[in-house]
Structures are given as C-alpha cells and as structure tokens.
C-alpha cells in the first residue's frame, strides 16, 4: 500500500494548482458577486484538457484517471467551488453516462466533442417534484416512429446556461417505476429546449444553474443511451462516480479555507501576540487539518478503487458523506478563527462557508449516502 502520488499525478496536480491560482483565483470573488460564470474561463478549461481528464485518448480525452480527476477537483475547488462543480457535472455526470452506456457510434458523435475540448455537457435528472426520489420522474418520452417526443421540466441543471449537450432522463413507461426511465442525449439547439433564468442560490453562486423545460422536443431514437428502461441505472452509476468529485470538491474547499485562515492567524495580533501563537489556535488548526486529511484519503481510496475496476459505490458514498460534513465544520471554524474579518465578503472564507453547504445536498444528500452505505452493508 502506497499513499504517495505517482510522478504523473504530481505533475497533473501542479498543472491544476497553477491554473487555479492564475486563471481562477483572481476572478472568483467577482464571479460570486455577479452570479455569472466567466465564459472565457470555460474556454480555458476546455483548452487545457480540464474537462476530459478520465476519458480515453481514443475519443480525444486526456487519458487520465479518476484519481487525476479528483486532484483536479480539489485544486480547482481550493480557489473556487463554482468552477469545481462546472467541471464535475460535465465530467462525471454528462460524459460518464455516454462513456459508460453509449454505443461506439454514440461515443464518437456525443462523447468526443465533450472530452476533446469542443463542447460542454450537463445532466438533467432532478425535477421540481423528484429529488432524492428520482423514480418520481414526470418528464415523459413517447415513442413516435424513429423519434421520441419529450415533455417535462428539470430543475437545478448545472451548466445549463451555456452547455451544448444535455443528458436527460424521462419516463418511457410510467407503470414500470424506476425500470421505466430512459436516458437521452439532447442538443441545446433542438426545438423545444428552453433554458430558464439562473436560480438564485446561497453558495456556488457563479455556477450556471437553471430550470430547463422540454416542450415537444423531437429526439431521434439513436440518441437514447442504453436500452429503454435503463435510465435509472445509468443515472445512479453516474452519480456513484460523481460523488468522488464532490468529495474532492469538499476537500478542496476545506483546504482552501484553512490555508486562508492560517495566513490570517499568522499575521493577526491580539493581546500583544500573533494569534497563531495561542495554543487554542494551534489545536484548532491541527484538528481541522486532520479532518481534511482523513477526507482526502477516503476520496483517493474511492478514486483508486474506481480506477482499478472495483466496487467503488459504497466507498464513494462514504467519502462524500464524510467530506461534505467535514467541509461544513471546517469552513465554519475558519470563519470563527478569522472573527469579524472572516464574516466579511472581502475575505474568501465567507464565500467558502456558503459554498460548502451544497456538498451535503447535491449528487445525493447525506441521507441518501447513508442509504447507499447501509444498503451495501446488508444489515436490514
């Protein structure tokens, strides 16, 4: 067993760190304030391969792995969680559905532009009335010759403001429950696709997140991923992998916040001393770093298990459950370490504390993670 990163992973980490520090950190606050994701940044993410890391070079991808992708999510989220989720939804949700369940023809047509840096993807599963209970889908796909006609509304579709390719789930047979859901690849330009306004949120405010309605959208049968009824399985598989990304995002936000807090306590003087010289500060920082490291190791374990073809689902759920709760504790403690300044929008820990909350909710709530973990333990 070796806990050290390989040379190639270290150099990847170096790239992600430099990119984050130079291209994202200077604009993160402004993007949060304006609640608009910088489209020039999207182009740069595509240009340097940050949107196609764990995908084969046969399709124009980077040829990396999930550990590399987790390193990317951590380094990017250290400076901006909104950019983190933009990469995550594209990579581990949209692309993974096509990579895992598409035919060779579908991969050439839909996956290639997503991983070679040409297009951005998004993922439409959640509906206003179907969250954790994904089986309650109301979006319908009705077969009509060689096309399906899709009608329905999806909510909280990350990247939908600018994405080109939408992986969307719809009921093809309501009577079959989860086995009646199918997955489709929809092009933004197809008539009837309507992307609504940016949804106002507490954190990750720069990330594009809209309601998307599908009104009589005519989708070729050739755009269906897997068999009719395979949609639920496809979505759950994508979310299993996605959770590794969210765990890594949580680790990144937490480490980013702690780094900021450490910088501050080394400078701040009270009672005639730097507050870093107080044992209370030192113990707090030691506790926080320990929690972050524990979450990081869990995340890497899940990523490596996935890379090695193992059963990563429960490990990914554990990493996500632990890391997302950890980042909420850590960012709250970092704001506390910085006192009144930590609460000010001038310092990034305020944004990081707001950004942290969503990690306990999206790509499966903490409660859903416990369902997955308990299910794998077969204790009922």
Residue 49 CB, shortest distance to another protein, in Å, is 3
Is the separation of the CB atoms in 100 and 125 below 8 Å? no
Nearer to another protein by C-beta: 14 or 367?
A: 14
Residue 44 CB, shortest distance to another protein, in Å, is 9
User: What is the SS3 assignment for 377?
Assistant: helix
Q: Which residues contact 320 (CB under 8 A, 6 or more apart)?
A: 243, 244, 246, 247, 250, 359, 363, 364, 369
Residue with tokens 């319908």: 140
Is the separation of the CB atoms in 335 and 357 below 8 Å? no
How far apart are alpha carbons 231 and 108 in whole angstroms? 20
Residue 213 CB, shortest distance to another protein, in Å, is 35
Q: Which residues bind another protein (CB under 8 A)?
A: 7-8, 11-12, 14-15, 18-19, 48-50, 52-53, 57, 61-64, 68, 72
- Catalytic: which of 23, 211, 325, 363? 363
How far apart are alpha carbons 45 and 39 in whole angstroms? 10
Nearer to another protein by C-beta: 8 or 103?
A: 8
Q: C-alpha angle 39/45/46, rounded to 5°?
A: 95
Ramachandran assignment for 263, one of left (phi > 0), alpha (psi -120 to 50 degrees), beta (any other): alpha
β 165-171/121-124 pair status: parallel
Residue 341 CB, shortest distance to another protein, in Å, is 26
The number of CA neighbours under 13 Å toward the Cβ of 262 is: 14
Residue 18 CB, shortest distance to another protein, in Å, is 7
Residue 21 CB, shortest distance to another protein, in Å, is 11
Q: Provide the residue count of the chain.
A: 380
Residue 11 CB, shortest distance to another protein, in Å, is 5
Burial of 199 per CB tally in 10 Å (0-12, 13-18, 19+): middle
How far apart are alpha carbons 232 and 252 in whole angstroms? 30
Nearer to another protein by C-beta: 18 or 273?
A: 18
How far apart are alpha carbons 252 and 331 in whole angstroms? 11
Is 363 a catalytic site residue?
yes
Nearer to another protein by C-beta: 22 or 129?
A: 22
Other C-beta atoms lying within 10 Å of the C-beta of residue 17: 17
Nearer to another protein by C-beta: 77 or 331?
A: 77
Determine the number of helices (DSSP H) and then strands (DSSP E) in the chain.
14, 10
Catalytically active residues, by annotation: 363
């Amino acid at each position: 067993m070796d806990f050290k990163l390989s040379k190639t992973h270290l150099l990847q980490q170096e790239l992600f760190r430099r990119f984050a520090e130079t291209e994202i950190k200077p604009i993160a606050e402004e993007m949060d304030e304006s609640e608009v994701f910088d489209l020039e940044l999207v182009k740069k993410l595509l240009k340097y391969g940050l949107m196609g890391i764990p995908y084969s070079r046969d399709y124009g991808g980077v040829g990396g792995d999930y550990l590399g992708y987790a390193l990317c999510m951590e380094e990017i989220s250290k400076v901006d969680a909104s950019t983190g989720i933009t990469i995550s939804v594209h990579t581990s949700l949209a692309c993974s559905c096509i990579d895992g369940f598409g035919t060779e023809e579908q991969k050439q047509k839909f996956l290639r532009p997503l991983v070679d840096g040409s297009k951005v993807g998004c993922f439409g599963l959640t509906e206003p009335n179907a969250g954790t209970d994904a089986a309650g889908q109301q979006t319908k796909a009705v077969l009509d010759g060689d096309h399906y006609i899709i009608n329905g509304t999806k909510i909280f579709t990350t990247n939908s403001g600018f994405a080109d390719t939408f992986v969307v789930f719809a009921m093809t047979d309501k009577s079959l429950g989860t086995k009646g859901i199918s997955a489709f690849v929809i092009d933004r330009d197809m008539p009837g696709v309507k992307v609504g306004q940016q949804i106002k949120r507490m954190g990750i405010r720069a990330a594009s997140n809209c309601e998307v309605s599908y009104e009589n959208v005519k989708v070729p049968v050739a755009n269906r991923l897997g068999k009719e009824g395979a949609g639920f399985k496809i979505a759950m598989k994508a979310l299993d992998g996605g959770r590794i990304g969210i765990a890594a995002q949580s680790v990144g936000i937490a480490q980013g916040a702690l780094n900021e807090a450490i910088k501050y306590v080394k400078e701040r003087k009270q009672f005639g001393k730097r507050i870093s010289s107080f044992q209370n500060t030192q113990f707090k920082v030691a506790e926080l770093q320990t929690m972050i490291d524990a979450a990081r190791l869990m995340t890497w374990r899940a990523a490596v298990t996935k890379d090695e073809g193992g059963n990563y689902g429960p490990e990914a759920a554990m990493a996500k459950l632990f890391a997302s709760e950890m980042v909420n504790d850590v960012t709250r403690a970092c704001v506390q370490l910085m006192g009144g300044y930590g609460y000010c929008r001038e310092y990034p820990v305020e944004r990081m504390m707001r950004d942290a909350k969503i990690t306990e909710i999206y790509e499966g709530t903490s409660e859903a993670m416990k369902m997955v973990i308990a299910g794998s333990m077969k204790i009922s």
